[in-house]
Structure 1
Amino acid sequence: MIKIYSNYMANFRGLSREIWLLSLVTFINRAGAMVIPFLSLYLVNVEGFTLPQVGWIMSCFGLGSLAGTYIGGRLTDTIGFYKVIISSLFLGGVGFILLQFLNTFYGFCIGIFILTLMADAGRPAIFVAADTYSKPGNITRSITLIRLAINLGFSIGPLVGGLIIAHINYTSLFWIDGLTCMLAAFGVFLLLQPKKQKNKNEVKSITVKEGIPPYLNKLFILFFVIMVANSLAFVQYFSVMPIYYEQVHFLSEDVIGWLLFINGATIVIFEMPLIAWLDRKQISKTMATFWGIFFLGLSFLVLNLTSWSGILVVAMLLMTLGEMIGFPFSNALALEMAPKGRKGSYMGLYSMSFSFAHLIGHNGGMNLVNSFGYFSTWTVFSIFLLFIALLTIWLYFQLKKSEAGKV
């Protein structure tokens, strides 16, 4: 056990002080984001909106994420990551506090859009900061630490949020979310010293663009479509699924928080060793993406097998296994498919797949449930993901054929 712990911790030795501080701030921010997992429940139970209305509000969430990521990336290049991170955290905190005072459908649509735009504007800046503060050769491990901080925060946040709702009220969540975002902003301001990004002129002098842009790369566009489809199903666990837990299995918010905690905690404990083991087995990145989609589809299928509430834990673990295998390797596959000098544009398109999923996934799931019920909705997602998994296998053979052609 001691050896396992030592090997696990060895992955994080040698990282800079700034990366650890950046991860701590990210953890505080994500742990404070308690409203998001319970937003659909709040909109139905407190505000009295219908499922289709909640779907449109969540589409505005996705649209704000899409706009925020794009604007944040542009602002990071012009005014620097330091100002973008602080502004995003502080304004996002203000947005969370003000959100509780909205009570109309269109008000929520606009409010969620603006809030997500401000909050997600900091996402590109965080990773640019990681690149800037990383020691030579440590960028991958630095990003991994930040990813673990995000997942640890996301596992603790819903757990605490569910307890707060059960024992206090929903309103408290908005205040806590807002204040923790502001606390994270002050943490960056006080603890993280601004640092210039790597010399742009130096980068330009050695950058040679090869290959074709991502939107002209047919295989990458197919991969992008696969990732959008996978994410469409994945986001159901954070909007439609909490309502399913309450309406069908009669779970309270604190128990729902524990279920969501399983996801983040499992990732924090097992993702790094699992990925290291799969790397040693030299699994194909495309096939790892296939298995991620397969396990996600299986998580929807098992929900229809029994009315036993314990199946919810099984489904959550299957979904988490799919996430742990699929997302890291799909990220690596996107980088692998990107030619020299075009990695930014390829990774930008890859990152947008999740924003597109937020834009249409929540809305589609809510309307499916409203029209056909949960049983049919989970069946549709199971069949849909089976088709996407088969499409991923086809991509695997096309990529192998493409590589053979180069040789």
Structure 2
Amino acid sequence: MRVLAATTLVTSIAFFAMVPFLTLYLSDVTDLSAAAIGAAVGSIALISALGSFFSGALADRVGAVTLLRTGLGLYAAVCVALSLSDAVYAVLPLIVCLGCALTLCTPSLKKLLSLAAPGEGSVIFRVRYISQSLGAVLGPLVGAGAYLIDRRALFLCAGALFGLCLLIVQLGNGSLGALEAEREPSAAAGRAWGPALKDRRLFLAVGAGISITLVFSQFESIFPLYLKNEHGTAAAAYFSGLFAFHALIGIVFQFPAQWLARRFPQAAQAAVGCMGFCGAFVLFGLSEGGLLMLAAGVTVWTLGEAILMPMPDQITHRIAPDALKGAYFGFAELRYAGFFAGPLIGGALLGIGPAAYFTTLAVLAFLALPFLASPSLSAPREAAS
């Protein structure tokens, strides 16, 4: 668990040191429109959404540790390549390669976390969220500092961190390998796609995940462009500060999220989370770039995120057989289609105007509620700890 927590933390720092600044980077070095920039950055999620089912099933066959190492190595190599050229013909294919690395890493890491989780184990994905939030506190600060020094330093810092993560996994190879070895291989692993594709609950979890990520992706992709329209060159500093604030209170908000999980059904929790996202877009739209209103919006946004973001993983952990966890978590990564569609839709709406953007997203904030309120996805309330 220490190796997995460290891997999650360092990967999160590296990811958030680079990806949130890609929209600003492309805006600086290219003449692409906001929608085209959103599509380019969103391609990372699209590749992951399309490829993770295959990589997850492959993890069930050849081992999650092997695929995790391969993905981290690819991350590091792509970051080095991005630091060497800012030509559009080189940058855009390399951004797509970041999606390939994400495809290899995410289902493998989630499978290992799920195998290590005791009992229902849904708390392990709250721990994962906290580790990601800690990384998200540090990552944007590292990225903003590097970006202000030199745009290419952004990629060098991220590449070094991914390299460090690869070293952590290599040093913990024995314990991680033993974790997989504890589960006796099953013949079902060779037929992983069939059972997963027949499980209606998995499709509901994917629908919820796409709906959540379509909305959530706005904060990391289009929201910085809104800040750039309002604050110009100071946008990077504004965004890094707000993002660090959001990540820090995200850790604190896991306590009320867990309190809700112990006392209320999943549908009620989901309703509160959707209201948090909706309220944030209302406040952002009324802010006119003012820091106080932006901070208030980030606060209610983070409450919604703390409730909603772990839910698809918790559901998948609960319904997936041990022998097929790679395939189940891989298929669940189709939710990353929301990370592609979100920036594309958001960029187009922001091109129309801030009012159209924030109004539409406030409505879309409730897309996930019908999926999460489905009786077939009902979860037992978490015991007090």
What is the match of residue 46 of structure 2? 63
CA–CA distance in structure 1, aligned partners of residues 173 and 204 of structure 2: 40
Compute the displacement of 1:20 (Å).
0.9
Distance 1:313 1:215, change over 3 A: farther
Matching residue's letter, 2:32: F
Whether 1:284 and 2:284 are equivalent positions in the alignment is no
Question: Which of 96-105 and 54-63 deviates more?
Answer: 96-105
What is the match of residue 71 of structure 2? 88
After superposition, residues 284-363 of structure 1 pair within 5 angstroms as 284-307=265-288, 308-333=290-315, 347-353=329-335, 355-363=336-344
CA–CA distance in structure 2, aligned partners of residues 29 and 165 of structure 1: 19
Matching residue's letter, 1:399: P
CA–CA distance in structure 2, aligned partners of residues 296 and 330 of structure 1: 17
Whether 1:183 and 2:159 are equivalent positions in the alignment is no
Compute the displacement of 1:65 (Å).
1.6
Whether 1:129 and 2:109 are equivalent positions in the alignment is no
What is the percent sequence identity of the aligned residues? Answer: 21
Distance 1:384 1:91, change over 3 A: closer
CA contact (8 A) 2:82 2:152 kept: no
Distance 1:119 1:226, change over 3 A: closer
Whether 1:162 and 2:144 are equivalent positions in the alignment is yes
Specify the structure having the higher radius of gyration (Cα).
1
Which secondary structure state, in structure 2, belongs to the residue aligned with residue 170 of structure 1? coil
Matching residue's letter, 2:153: S
TM-score (norm 2): 0.83
Matching residue's letter, 1:74: A
Which secondary structure state, in structure 1, belongs to the residue aligned with residue 365 of structure 2? helix
CA deviation map 1:305-356 (0-9, x unaligned): 2423321111111111101112234544556677999877665443321x11
Compute the displacement of 1:269 (Å).
2.7
Compute the displacement of 1:150 (Å).
1.8
Matching residue's letter, 1:284: P
What is the match of residue 399 of structure 1? 375
CA–CA distance in structure 2, aligned partners of residues 120 and 320 of structure 1: 26
Matching residue's letter, 1:108: V
Q: Of 368, 375, 382, which residue of structure 1 is paired with 2:355?
A: 375
Distance 1:128 1:135, change over 3 A: closer
TM-score (norm 1): 0.79
Compute the displacement of 1:171 (Å).
1.2
If asked which structure has higher relative contact order (CA below 8 Å, sep 6+), I would say 2
CA contact (8 A) 2:270 2:308 kept: yes
CA contact (8 A) 1:214 1:345 kept: no
CA contact (8 A) 2:75 2:98 kept: yes
Whether 1:26 and 2:2 are equivalent positions in the alignment is no
Aligned length: 370
CA deviation map 1:122-149 (0-9, x unaligned): 11221233345x3754954444433322
Q: Of 220, 236, 239, which residue of structure 2 is paired with 1:256?
A: 239
Question: Which of 194-203 and 25-34 deviates more?
Answer: 194-203
Which secondary structure state, in structure 1, belongs to the residue aligned with residue 286 of structure 2? coil
Distance 1:215 1:373, change over 3 A: farther
CA contact (8 A) 1:163 1:254 kept: no
Question: Which of 237-246 and 19-28 deviates more?
Answer: 19-28
CA–CA distance in structure 2, aligned partners of residues 222 and 85 of structure 1: 27
Whether 1:52 and 2:32 are equivalent positions in the alignment is no
CA–CA distance in structure 2, aligned partners of residues 253 and 36 of structure 1: 13
Compute the displacement of 1:204 (Å).
6.2
CA–CA distance in structure 1, aligned partners of residues 186 and 199 of structure 2: 25
CA contact (8 A) 2:8 2:132 kept: yes
Q: Of 115, 130, 135, which residue of structure 2 is paired with 1:148?
A: 130
What is the match of residue 384 of structure 1? 364
Compute the displacement of 1:384 (Å).
2.8
What is the match of residue 382 of structure 2? none
CA contact (8 A) 2:267 2:369 kept: no
Compute the displacement of 1:36 (Å).
0.3
Compute the displacement of 1:27 (Å).
1.3
Distance 1:102 1:215, change over 3 A: farther
CA–CA distance in structure 2, aligned partners of residues 81 and 220 of structure 1: 20
Gaps of 5+ in 1: 1-18
